[in-house]
């Protein structure tokens, strides 16, 4: 649980912390959107260089980001296996029964690994340098035009803020329940897969009950304090763009132009 870095905020004073959260969200969305269309290694090299600069500007060690990648290695390997086993084409590298591994499958698997890692690291850089409340406020500001079509933007932002706040609480609660169950002799790392799956059930029930109780307490607290609508709320911290945001925007535009140019050259 402690190795799950994505979604956590670590206070710092590096350059990336000075950016407006709206700028960081837009840069992250643009980066992920461009990676979807990457299909050549020069484009991935350019994306990796942009990501490397971003990670340096966070002021955090690369070991921290590697620690955040390790918990999802199994998901990456599972996705790679799907690409290897179910991508057709020629030439064929290895064939046995219904299993066929081809060169296009290996290439797609490599691209999936790189794309997965780049997206996770960029998202981690966003959450590490931006408090959850700032992310919610930035999304509310960016989605403000949707109010014209009666979309409850303020309520959605409030829900997101509460959800982000509950993530570390639920992680801490999970850790407490696991330690309590281990002290009673339960093991999650021994036995067959079926036995370990059944051992998870005693963890889920108290977590589910605890989450419901926290939600009820929060609802009662909001009602007692006279909460009515998120539209009427005022904010202690007002978002504003600075010169750093202008530089980040220019860098992102330059990266986008180079990235699209690289794709067109190797099309």
Flag whether pLDDT at 55 surpasses 70: yes
Average pLDDT of every residue of the chain: 83
In tens, the pLDDT along 206-246 reads 888 888 888 899 889 888 887 766 556 667 777 889 999 99
Is the pLDDT confidence value at 2 over 80? no
Summarize pLDDT for 105-120 with one digit per residue, the tens.
788 888 888 998 999 8
Residue 144 lies in a domain: no
Residue 35, domain member (yes or no): yes
175 lies in the same domain as 207 = yes
- 186 in the same domain as 216: yes
> Which of 98-107, 113-122, 133-142, 163-172 shows the highest mean pLDDT?
113-122
Pairing mode of beta strands 99-102, 92-96: antiparallel
Identify whether 198 is part of a domain. yes
Burial 245-265 (b: 16+ CB within 10 A, else e): beebeeebeebeeebeebbee
Judge if 101 and 201 occupy the same domain: no
CA-nearest of 154, 165, 125 to 25 is 125
pLDDT band at 37 (very low <50, low <70, confident <90, very high): confident
Mean pLDDT of 150-162: 81
**Residue reference for tokens 């932002």:** 157
Supply the pTM of this predicted model.
Answer: 0.78
Tell whether 210 and 256 lie within a shared domain. Answer: no
Token digits for 18?
Answer: 């000075």
Lowest pLDDT segment from 75-84, 151-160, 191-200: 191-200
Query: With 60 as the cut, is the pLDDT of residue 3 above it?
Result: no
Domain identity same for 183 and 113 = no
pLDDT for residue 8 is more than 90: no
Closest CA to 242 of 23, 34, 7: 23
3-state secondary structure of 215: helix
Statement to judge: residues 159 and 48 lie in one domain: no
**Residues 13, 124 within the same domain:** yes
> Could you tell me if residue 60 is inside a domain?
yes
Both tokens of 25, joined, read 């969200």
Q: Are residues 7 and 92 in the same domain?
A: yes
In a domain, 147, yes or no: no
Distance of alpha carbon 35 from alpha carbon 116, whole angstroms? 10
Residue 136 forms part of a structural domain: no
Dihedrals φ, ψ of 95, to 5°?
A: -140, 130
Residue 141 lies in a domain: no
Going from the C-alpha of 102 to that of each of 80, 90, 178, the distances in angstroms are: 13, 6, 43
pLDDT band of 165, cuts 50, 70, 90: confident
Q: What are phi and psi of 186, to 5 degrees?
A: -80, 145
Q: Could you give the number of structural domains in the chain?
A: 2
Per-residue confidence (pLDDT) for residue 20, from 0 to 100:
94
Q: For residue 227, what are the domain limits?
A: 152-236
Residues 163 and 217 in one domain: yes
27 within a domain of the structure (yes/no) = yes
Residues 160 and 36 reside in one and the same domain: no
Residues 119 and 196 in one domain: no
Q: Are residues 45 and 75 in the same domain?
A: yes
């Amino acid at each position: 649980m402690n190795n799950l870095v994505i979604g956590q905020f670590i206070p710092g004073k590096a350059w990336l912390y000075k950016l407006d959260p709206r700028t960081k969200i837009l840069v992250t969305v643009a980066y992920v959107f461009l990676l979807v269309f990457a299909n050549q290694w020069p484009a991935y090299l350019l994306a990796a260089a942009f990501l490397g600069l971003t990670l340096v500007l966070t002021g955090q060690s690369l070991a921290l980001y590697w620690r955040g990648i390790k918990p999802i290695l199994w998901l990456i390997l599972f996705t790679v296996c799907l690409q290897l086993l179910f991508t057709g084409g020629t030439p064929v590298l290895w064939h046995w029964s219904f299993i066929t591994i081809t060169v296009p499958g290996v290439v797609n698997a490599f691209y999936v690994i790189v794309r997965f890692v780049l997206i996770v690291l960029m998202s981690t850089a966003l959450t590490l340098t931006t408090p959850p409340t700032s992310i919610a406020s930035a999304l509310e500001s960016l989605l403000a035009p949707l109010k014209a079509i009666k979309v409850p933007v303020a309520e959605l932002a409030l829900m997101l803020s509460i959800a982000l706040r509950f993530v570390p609480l639920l992680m801490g609660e999970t850790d407490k329940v696991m330690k309590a169950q281990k002290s009673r002799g339960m093991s999650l790392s021994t036995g067959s897969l079926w036995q370990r799956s059944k051992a998870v059930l005693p963890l889920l029930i108290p977590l589910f009950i605890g989450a419901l109780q926290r939600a009820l307490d929060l609802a009662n607290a909001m009602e007692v304090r006279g909460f009515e609508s998120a539209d009427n709320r005022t904010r202690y911290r007002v978002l504003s763009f600075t010169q750093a945001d202008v530089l980040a925007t220019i860098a992102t535009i330059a990266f986008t132009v180079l990235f699209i140019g690289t794709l067109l050259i190797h099309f």
